[in-house]
């Protein structure tokens, strides 16, 4: 076991993945500087500049080239610096990455990983704080995963690299160095599509992912002191997501609170709410609460605190659900 931050757990995973000659890492500044978040620190030295590739500033080119490499039998990992910079590559993602398996009926596939740091909470510059996961979850043919712990960051990244389909790998920016935890050494995977039970509880189910998991966990701890037993589920994967784990939990608790920092309207929470009511409507004892960002641009540093859901907001939603 090693005591690692999320960032270092990702470095460890990349280092292990790069042992396979089919794997390359490419993106802007991933080599010499180790990436803007230093996730690939030291990897160019370890694996060489042909395998840890500093590219021109061109997101569509990065993803399109990675797609070509994948079609030719490699397992490239493309890094986009921030989610707000990933949009130029959407044509590649939608029209090619997500489609090639179907349009060639399995003859050609795109087993690539696109790593995208995302989310608010560190007062970053404009376009550096987006949570646009719902854009990606709406694109057929992709998988979308979001780790929230060092352990899952490593295990999910190795699972993403091993996956035979394209995976959008979202890295919560504010968690990169916020937590340290024991992470097994050597290769291991966390299955894509399986949620993680963060804390068990009986009264309310809180479903979260990414940076919101810690907030939900903190809210649950506070509420436990006042006698409310909150179950927290970390989805870990958005496509496919673990319907069974969520529905089973809500059937027990009868109450649900969904948390994400992305905008509210057509956010991924809406999908979760819709699915819960399909499967567990008659178990519900209160309306399902959503704690989300607003349908606004993420405010800049000085006003960001008005936007990002807090543990207090989650606790308040749980209380409403209990009263519901």
Partner 1 sequence: MSAEPQQLLAPDGTLHGDLPLPLGEISRLYRAMVVARVFDGKCSAMQRQGRLATYAPYEGQEAAQIGAASALEASDWLVASYRDAAAMALRGYPWSNLILGRTGDERGGHAPEGVRVLPPSITVGGHMIHAVGIAWAERLKGTDAVALTMFGDGATSEGDFHEAMNFAAVFATPTVFFCQNNGWAISLPTSRQTAAETIADKAVGYGMTGLVVDGNDVLAVHEAVRRAVSTARAGEGPTLIEALTYRIGPHTTTDDPGRYRDPAEVESWRERDPLRRVRRFLETQGAWDEDAQAAAEHDAGLEAEAAVAAAEMVAALDGDEIFSAMYAVPTIHLEEQRARLRRDGR
CA-based nearest residue to 166, from 148, 187, 144, 190: 144
CA atoms within 13 A on the CB side of 4: 21
In terms of CB distance, is 108 or 188 closer to partner 1? 108
Which residues have a Cβ under 8 Å from the Cβ of 77 and sit 6 or more positions away? Answer: 14, 17, 23, 24, 25, 26, 66, 112, 113, 114, 115, 161
**DSSP symbol at 13:** H
Q: Which two tokens stand for residue 297?
A: 């641009």
| Phi, psi (deg, nearest 5) at residue 291 | -115, 110
Q: Which of 69, 157, 308, 317 binds partner 1 (CB under 8 A)?
A: 69
The single residue among 8, 44, 47, 101 that binds partner 1, judged by CB under 8 A, is 101
**Catalytic residue numbers, as ranges:** 128
Does position 191 interact with partner 1 (CB under 8 A)? The reply is no
Measured from the CB atom, the residue of 97 and 175 that comes closer to partner 1 is: 97
Total number of residues binding partner 1 (CB under 8 A)?
46
Q: Write down the residue that tokens 């059937």 correspond to.
A: 251
Q: Which of residues 252-311 bind partner 1 (CB under 8 A)?
A: none
Chain positions 102 to 121 lying near partner 1, rule: CB under 8 A, are 102-109
Q: Is 90 in the site for partner 1 (CB under 8 A)?
A: no
Of the candidates 3, 20, 45, 58, which one interacts with partner 1 according to CB under 8 A?
58
Alpha helices in the chain (DSSP H): 6-17, 43-47, 59-71, 90-92, 100-103, 133-137, 150-162, 212-225, 243-253, 268-280, 311-323
Site for partner 1 contains 32 (CB under 8 A): no
Nearest to 291 by CA among 212, 237, 214: 212
Cα dihedral across residues 216, 218, 223, 227: positive or negative = positive
- Between the CA of residue 89 and those of 65, 136, 268, what are the distances in Å? 11, 12, 21
User: Is 70 an interacting residue with respect to partner 1 (CB under 8 A)?
Assistant: yes
Q: At what angle do helices 212-225 and 311-323 cross, to 10 degrees?
A: 60
| 243 is a site residue for partner 1 (CB under 8 A) | yes
Tell whether residue 48 is a contact of partner 1 (CB under 8 A): no
| Residue 240 lies near partner 1 (rule: CB under 8 A) | yes
Which of 36, 61, 180, 252: binder of partner 1 (CB under 8 A)?
A: 61
Q: Which is nearer to partner 1, 106 or 302 (CB)?
A: 106
Which single residue is written with the structure tokens 């560190």? Answer: 122
85 binds partner 1 (CB under 8 A): no
Per CB under 8 A, does 141 bind partner 1?
A: yes
Residue with smaller CB distance to partner 1, 103 or 306: 103
| Closest approach of partner 1 to the CB of residue 64, in Å | 3
Shortest Å distance, C-beta 258 to partner 1: 17
> At 181, phi and psi to the nearest 5?
-155, 165
State the minimum distance, in angstroms, from the CB of residue 106 to partner 1. 5
Strand ranges across the sheet with 289-291: 196-199, 230-234, 204-208, 256-259, 289-291
Decide: is 29 part of the binding site for partner 1 (CB under 8 A): no
Question: Where along the sequence are the contacts to partner 1 (CB under 8 A)?
Answer: 21, 24, 50-51, 53, 55-56, 58, 60-61, 64-74, 76, 91-92, 95-96, 100-109, 140-141, 143, 164-165, 193, 239-241, 243
């Amino acid at each position: 076991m090693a005591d690692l931050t999320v960032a270092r757990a990702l470095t460890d995973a990349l280092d292990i993945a790069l042992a396979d000659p089919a794997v390359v890492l490419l993106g802007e500044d991933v080599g010499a500087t180790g990436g803007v978040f230093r996730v690939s620190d030291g990897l160019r030295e370890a694996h060489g500049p042909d395998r840890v590739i500093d590219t021109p500033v061109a997101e569509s080119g990065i993803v399109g080239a990675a797609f070509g490499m994948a079609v030719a039998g490699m397992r490239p990992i493309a890094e986009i610096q921030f989610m707000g910079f990933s949009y130029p590559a959407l044509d590649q993602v939608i029209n090619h990455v997500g489609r090639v398996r179907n349009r060639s009926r399995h003859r050609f596939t795109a087993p690539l990983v696109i790593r995208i740091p995302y989310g608010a909470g560190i007062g970053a510059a404009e376009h550096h704080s987006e949570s646009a996961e719902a854009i990606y979850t709406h694109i057929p043919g992709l998988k979308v995963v979001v780790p929230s712990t060092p352990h899952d960051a490593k295990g999910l990244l190795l699972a993403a690299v091993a996956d035979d389909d394209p995976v959008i790998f979202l890295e919560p920016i504010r968690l990169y160095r916020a937590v340290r935890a024991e992470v097994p050494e050597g290769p291991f995977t966390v299955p894509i599509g399986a949620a993680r039970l963060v804390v068990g509880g009986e009264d309310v189910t809180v479903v979260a992912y990414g940076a919101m998991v810690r907030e939900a966990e903190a809210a649950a701890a506070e509420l436990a002191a006042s006698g409310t037993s909150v179950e927290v589920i970390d989805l870990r994967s958005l496509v496919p997501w673990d319907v069974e784990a969520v529905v089973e939990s809500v059937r027990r608790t009868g109450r649900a609170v969904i948390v994400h920092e992305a905008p509210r309207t057509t956010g991924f929470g809406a999908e979760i709410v819709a699915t819960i009511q399909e499967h567990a409507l008659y178990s519900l004892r209160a309306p399902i609460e959503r704690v989300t960002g607003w349908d606004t641009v993420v405010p800049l540093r000085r006003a960001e605190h008005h936007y990002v859901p807090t543990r207090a907001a989650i606790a308040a939603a749980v209380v409403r659900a209990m009263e519901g």
